[in-house]
Amino acid sequence: MPVFDHEALRATIAANAATVQTNARPESLVTAALAAGEGRLTADGALAVTTGIFTGLSPKDKFIVSDALTRDKVWWDNSAAMSEAHFEALLADFVAATAGRDLNRQDLSAGSNPAQRFGVTVFTETAWHALFIQNLLIREAATGPQMTILPLPSFAADPERHGTRNGTVIALDMTRRLVLIGGTAYAGEIKKSVFSLFNFHAPLSNVLPMHCSANVGATGDVALFFGLSGTGKTTLSNDPARPLIGDDEHGWSDSGVFNLEGGCYAKTINLSATAEPEIHAATRRFATVLENVTIGTDGQPDYADGARTENTRAAYPLEALPSIAPGSVGGAPQTVIFLTADAFGVLPPIARLTPEQAAYHFLSGYTAKVAGTERGITEPTATLLSARLARTGSATWLINPGWTGGAYGTGRRIDIATTRRLLAAALSGELAAAPVRTDPNFGFSVPTAITGLAPELLDPRRSWADPAAYDAMATKLVGMFEANFRKFEPRAAAAE
């Protein structure tokens, strides 16, 4: 298969444009954004912007080109296909839409391990989107395999001509590593498209792509934190005593764990300077991008205000944090944490998983919010995870910062101090000799005693006032997990 000429495409886009600002520095991008009315400065110098009608990802408008490479490798039940002809028409129209525009070009890279590094060039029509992606990726060009991403919020797709549902489109050509984003200003689409390309290509090179946080202890012990949005992986992985490898997207190769990115994209709703001091401080630095955060008349962010969206975000480089791992790399993980926000009040706050149970919960979405299954998770990825866990002997834990004493609405949320105590016990190895019981619903091992925690907390059935009500809810949740997993069973059986 011939190598696609990314430089030729980039040169065409640049020739079409009225002007192109290439690799502008943060101060220049902030100045340009303010001059264009794209946002406002907070009292501390962060750039606050809004993203219009889209305040989150648009998964139903995401398409993958179906071609010789992807046809038998993409899980099409969970991904919308776009024909090669439709993508060619879309690409031609995107390039034509750059004519006469003032564009920003950022030449960046993804992958802190040089052996798995991609060059990523992003053209944007707003300065703030350029600043956003500069904050989140590695701020240097790379000569390895290339990606080109063209986000044009002003572009409206034509469903008849382009094969889309409406005017919004996120189209990925995995073979040529091209991404076209139109009709949405939500910057998370740019970030997520980089991981989507990596998520497809990495397993082909025996690298496990992971949506997780990672940090490293004083002895070099690496920990991974898997979790859907809002389960606490960013908060729990930010620990001054354990330098951060990365916040959200990683690879696990034969040489260890590496960060895909060079920044963090943290949720800020109800962000607390007391509970999350490092993240809170990072949101108050110059050139941090605040998405959809309410800013008061005094220029201060109001992180408790979710009127526009609960999905308020901050994008800042890793260097904004006080404790980061050199090179954003680490060895093979000794501890793997699956974070689950159990709104049913059934799962224990901590449980030990076998590699097989870890793969099950990975595929299931590792959360009792069963409908939130990770988009794009496929059998090869889960198989890679199981193999690496079995080979390295990594201790794998399910930690639940969700509800106890009842389901959402009647129970209470497990507080962050308790969750941090559970995490510390898992990371320190103190649970290796702890007494355990076998959970009757899911079969994993549950510690029955942890210093400083009430025994009834570790057994959720004991925390409910009505044990029979707990049993009924547990039966319901097990049924939901089983129903959710049926879609994976053919692939799981083929992988055995």
The DSSP-derived string for 305-354 is --SS-S--EEEEEGGGSS-B-GGGEE-SEEEEEEE---TTS-S-SEEEE-
Same structural domain, 376 and 402? yes
What stretch of H or E contains 295? Answer: strand 294-295
Write the CATH number for 431: 3.90.228.20
- Looking at the domain assignment, is residue 278 inside a domain? yes
Given 207, 227, 246, which residue is the final one in a domain?
207
Per-residue pLDDT at 364: 74
Distance CA 87, CA 202 (A): 23
- Looking at the domain assignment, is residue 242 inside a domain? no
Per-residue pLDDT at 490: 59
Per-residue pLDDT at 229: 72
Same structural domain, 313 and 433? no
**Mean pLDDT in residue range 184-198:** 97
- Looking at the domain assignment, is residue 47 inside a domain? no
Residue 143 has pLDDT above 80, yes or no: yes
Per-residue pLDDT at 495: 45
Token pair for 490: 């053919």
Strands (E), 23-101: 40-41, 47-49, 62-65, 80-82
Segment 432-441, tens digit of pLDDT: 889 999 999 9
Distance CA 73, CA 104 (A): 34
Segment 382-417, tens digit of pLDDT: 678 888 888 888 999 999 999 999 998 999 999 989
- Looking at the domain assignment, is residue 386 inside a domain? yes
Same structural domain, 59 and 147? yes
Distance CA 448, CA 467 (A): 18
Token pair for 75: 């899980």
**Mean pLDDT in residue range 101-120:** 96
Which of 110-114, 183-187, 464-468, 485-489 has the lowest average pLDDT?
485-489
Task: Indicate the number of domains in the chain.
Answer: 3
Single out the residue of 148, 158, 202 nearest to residue 180, CA to CA. Answer: 148
Write the CATH number for 292: 2.170.8.10
Strand pairing report for 395-399 and 350-353? antiparallel
Beta bridge partners of 289: 47, 315
- Looking at the domain assignment, is residue 117 inside a domain? yes
- Looking at the domain assignment, is residue 147 inside a domain? yes
Beta bridge partners of 295: 301
**Mean pLDDT in residue range 68-95:** 95
Going 232 to 194 to 214 to 388, the CA torsion angle's sign is positive
Distance CA 496, CA 489 (A): 11
Token pair for 2: 């011939």
Domain that holds residue 450: 332-495
Mean pLDDT score of the chain: 92
Same structural domain, 90 and 163? yes
**Mean pLDDT in residue range 188-194:** 97
Q: How far is CA 217 from CA 130, 363, 372, in A?
A: 34, 28, 31
Per-residue pLDDT at 130: 98
- Cβ atoms of 223 and 334 closer than 8 Å: yes
Instruction: Read off the DSSP letter of residue 239.
Output: B
pLDDT confidence bin for 491, thresholds 50/70/90 = low
Distance CA 32, CA 106 (A): 15
pLDDT confidence bin for 2, thresholds 50/70/90 = low
Same structural domain, 286 and 409? no
Per-residue pLDDT at 132: 98
The length of the chain is 496
Same structural domain, 344 and 276? no
pTM for the complete prediction?
0.91
Same structural domain, 273 and 297? yes
Same structural domain, 132 and 267? no
What is the share, in percent, of the chain residues with pLDDT greater than 90?
Answer: 82
Same structural domain, 382 and 481? yes
Distance CA 454, CA 448 (A): 10
User: Dihedrals φ, ψ of 212, to 5°?
Assistant: -160, 165
- Looking at the domain assignment, is residue 367 inside a domain? yes
Token pair for 493: 């059986």
- Cβ atoms of 89 and 162 closer than 8 Å: yes
What is the share, in percent, of the chain residues with pLDDT greater than 70?
Answer: 94
Per-residue pLDDT at 93: 98
Given 296, 322, 348, which residue is the final one in a domain?
322
Token pair for 256: 């260890």
Same structural domain, 311 and 408? no
Same structural domain, 101 and 167? yes
Amino acid identity of residue 80, one-letter, is A
- Looking at the domain assignment, is residue 423 inside a domain? yes
Same structural domain, 169 and 91? yes
**Mean pLDDT in residue range 449-467:** 94
Per-residue pLDDT at 494: 45
**Mean pLDDT in residue range 255-260:** 97
